[in-house]
Amino acid sequence: MDIISISPCIKRTSEVGKEDCPHIPSVSKSEIQNFLTPRPVKTDQEIIESSMAEDDPNCISEDEDTTFEKVRWGRHHKGAKILANFYSSGKRTQEIICVYSCISLMFINFYFILSHFRMDYFSKVVLSGVCGILTADFGSGLVHWGADTWGSIELPIIGKNFLRPFREHHIDPTSITRHDWIETNGDNFMIAIPILSRLTWIFYMTPKSEIPEVYPFCAFLFLCSIFVAITNQIHKWSHTYFDLPFWVQILQNYHIILPRKHHRIHHVAPHETYFCITTGWLNYPLEKIRFWPTLESIVTLITGYKPREDDLKWASKTS
Angle at 37 between CA 33 and CA 42, to 5 degrees: 145
Residue 243 has pLDDT above 80, yes or no: yes
- In whole angstroms, what is the distance from residue 68 CA to residue 316 CA? 15
Mean pLDDT comparison of 3-7, 34-38, 83-87, 300-304, highest-scoring range: 300-304
Q: DSSP labels for 178-196?
A: GS-HHHHHHHHHHHHHHHH
Residue 32 has pLDDT above 90, yes or no: no
What is the per-residue pLDDT for 81? 76
Average pLDDT, the chain: 82
SS3 state at 155? coil
- In whole angstroms, what is the distance from residue 20 CA to residue 107 CA? 73
Whether residue 270 contacts residue 128, with contact meaning beta carbons closer than 8 Å, is answered with: no
Residue 22 has pLDDT above 60, yes or no: no
What is the per-residue pLDDT for 10? 38
**Predicted confidence band at 11 (pLDDT cuts at 50, 70, 90)?**
very low
Kindly report, residue by residue over 225-241, the tens digit of the pLDDT: 999 999 999 999 999 98
For residues 74 and 148, the model is more confident at: 148
- Pick from 63, 55, 35: nearest CA to 239: 55
SS3 state at 60? helix
Q: Which residues of 148-170 are buried (b: 16+ CB within 10 A; e: fewer)?
A: bbbbebeeeeebbbbbbbbbbbb
Whether residue 239 contacts residue 174, with contact meaning beta carbons closer than 8 Å, is answered with: yes
What is the per-residue pLDDT for 72? 54
26 exposure class (CB count in 10 Å sphere: 0-12, 13-18, 19+): exposed
Mean pLDDT over 198-224 rounds to 94
pTM above 0.85, yes or no: no
SS in 3 state form for 232-249? HHHHHHHCCCCCCCHHHH
For residues 206 and 318, the model is more confident at: 206
What is the per-residue pLDDT for 65? 42
- Pick from 148, 173, 294: nearest CA to 240: 173
Residue 20 has pLDDT above 60, yes or no: no
- Pick from 148, 155, 185: nearest CA to 86: 155
- Pick from 182, 216, 183: nearest CA to 199: 216
Residue 106 has pLDDT above 90, yes or no: yes
